[in-house]
Structure 1
């Protein structure tokens, strides 16, 4: 099990907690918590993954997403072998849920 932490700038703030996905074979769970009042950390992403050695892939997928969708908050991604496509899908689902 590997834990990775990434930070990205953000312009918009999540207003309520979000939960999408599940921790299951080939899938990914995302938990999004809004930042506390006065907190200006932007995007903080903690990835817990069962697959070691993909730090660069995680960084690239997350950087691409948060460049297009700068949604501030504390993101927790619990991975069990999700492909980059599934990661992107779950990130988009979480951002759409935050917008509603």
Structure 2
């Protein structure tokens, strides 16, 4: 297991907590918590727990690309069990869409 932590700039805060996906073979679970009252809303904090070691650069690039288009502040927990970048992007979009509704 490897744990990675990233921070990206944000422009708006998630309105409520979100849970999408599952931790299963080739899938990804995302837990999103909005900033607590009084916490800054100008950054995204992402913690990735992955079963696959050595993909730090891939994770960074996929996340940086996503949050450049969707700068949604909050604490993002990603629990990975071998998800491909396409699945990661799908789950991130699902979480952002759910947070916007």
| Equivalent in the alignment of 2:73 | 72
Aligned residue pair count: 100
Residue 22 of structure 1: how far off its partner (Å): 0.1
| Equivalent in the alignment of 1:13 | 13
| Equivalent in the alignment of 2:25 | 25
Q: Hey, which bits of structure 1, 4+ residues long, moved more than 4 A?
A: none
Does residue 59 (structure 1) correspond to residue 63 (structure 2)? The answer is no
SS at match of 1:86: helix
What's the TM-score once normalised by structure 1's chain length?
0.98
Cα shift readout 1:46-66 (whole Å, capped 9, x = no counterpart) = 000000000000000000000
Cα shift readout 1:11-47 (whole Å, capped 9, x = no counterpart) = 0100100000000000000000001112116100000
SS at match of 1:75: strand
RMSD, aligned α-carbons: 0.7
Distance in structure 2 (CA, Å) of the matches to 1:12 and 1:50: 31
SS at match of 1:98: helix
Distance in structure 1 (CA, Å) of the matches to 2:49 and 2:55: 12
